[in-house]
Structure 1
Amino acid sequence: MAKANLLSGVDVRKVKKMRLLSRADLKSRGITFEDTQLRELVKIGKFPKPVKMGLRRNAWLESDIDAWIARLIAERDGVAA
């Protein structure tokens, strides 16, 4: 069986510009949900899905988190995001 190319279909130029945020990074941005709350929000589509980094390690795309925050602000201000 041939080994799958992990970058198949991925634009490497875009990946180089991406930044991943850890749970600590989320907390430093004021996102202080408990792990169970965060999992539930992801499950119901109210928080961005994480990128699986390993068996017990997740990270979030900074751009996804920024868009989520912008959407919350737009909802607060009554503006369609």
Structure 2
Amino acid sequence: MTLSKSQKTENNRLIRRKEVQDKTGFGASSIYAEMAKGNFPKAIQISERRVAWLESEIDAWISERIANRKVTNAQLEAQI
């Protein structure tokens, strides 16, 4: 999925874990487990004890899940 220039600018902000959880439906432990496996965008260290994620990377991750679902559904329908 290609984002327009205005969408890239809008989503080029840092979001904290709570917002990531709200957007993805993941709990904190799932976020960190998926990050460790390389299946989720890495957090950015913003201070000694704070991390955040780029909203655009989280949105892209969500879009990939949706696209994969559509492909899987189309493949299943083709088998019927």
SS in 2 for 1:46: coil
Moved over 6 A (4+): none
Identity %: 37
Aligned-residue CA RMSD (Å): 1.7
TM-score by length of 2: 0.66
Size of the aligned set, in residue pairs, is 62
Task: Report 1 or 2 for greater relative contact order, CA contacts < 8 Å, sequence distance ≥ 6.
Answer: 2
Give TM-score scaled by structure 1 length. Answer: 0.65
Q: Distance in 1 between matches of 2:33 and 2:21?
A: 17
Tell me, yes or no, if the aligned pair for 2:41 and 2:61 is still in contact at 8 Å: yes
Specify every segment of 5 or more residues in structure 2 that has no aligned partner in the other structure, as ranges: 1-8, 73-80
Tell me the residue number matched to 2:61.
68
| Structure 1 residue ranges without an equivalent (≥5) | 1-16
What's the counterpart of residue 14 of structure 2? 20
